[in-house]
Chains A and B, each alone.
Chain A
């Protein structure tokens, strides 16, 4: 059964304190792994798609990496505006999406 597990559930960082969020997955035939950001009361906002082990994508202070079993979202020198819930999802060959339960990030000024 396809499954996505995110850790930690919640993370508090001081402004400027870099860290990483983890997304481990089991899926039969990975088409893509997706990262989203969700602010309270809003719909998820697309960040990255990764397709192959070894692939990396960057956007401002965020960098996503992918291995055959997990993905990491690295946050470098975070700012308070980076506070949000970060969601990971995978897409298998059936065109279904499986989401993890997310990591709630709080960056303190």
Chain B
């Protein structure tokens, strides 16, 4: 089944304890992206990647890191989480960045609580 998977789905952690949220897609998609969703603010893009080893900042990259060493995986790293990073996180992928062919498929989400 074609899908975007995220792990873990739920995570409670403490301030300053490094964590990684994994994202994997099995559709050979070029483009991958991370978003956070907060009430009243909607979905905001954190980082995106147009292909292996090519990443760029979205609108809210502070406090996050990403890497794209393989086409299928795009982990999100919080090196020193803070309570303001408590949020619902979504990973998404798209077959291509070519105009008129891009369609983002979203993962199920990871709910993160930083105490």
Contact = CB atoms under 8 A, between A and B. Distances in A.
Given A95-B56, A96-B59, A49 B103 contact: yes
Contacts, number: 63
A78 to B, nearest CB: 23
Contacts of B48: 95-97
Contact of B109 (A32, A43, A96, A100): A43
Nearest to B49: A95
Interface string A84-102: 0001010100111111111
B59 A51 contact: no
Contact of A32 (B43, B92, B99, B105): B99
Contact of B44 (A34, A94, A99): A99
Interface in A47-64: 49, 51
Interface of B: 4, 31, 33, 35, 40-45, 48, 50, 56, 58-59, 90, 92, 97, 99-100, 102-109
Interface string A19-42: 000000000000110101000011
A101 B31 CA distance: 23
Contacts of A49: 100, 102-103
Given A87-B43, A99-B42, A99-B44, A43 B100 contact: no
Contacts of A102: 42
A32 B94 CA distance: 14
A44 B99 contact: no
Main secondary structure of the interface of A (DSSP, over half): strand
Interface of A: 31-32, 34, 36, 41-46, 49, 51, 87, 89, 91, 94-102
A46 B59 contact: no
A99 B92 CA distance: 14
A51 B100 contact: yes
Contact of A44 (B43, B44, B45, B56): B43
Given A41-B109, A44-B43, A34 B100 contact: no
Contact of B31 (A34, A45, A89, A95): A95
Contacts of A45: 106
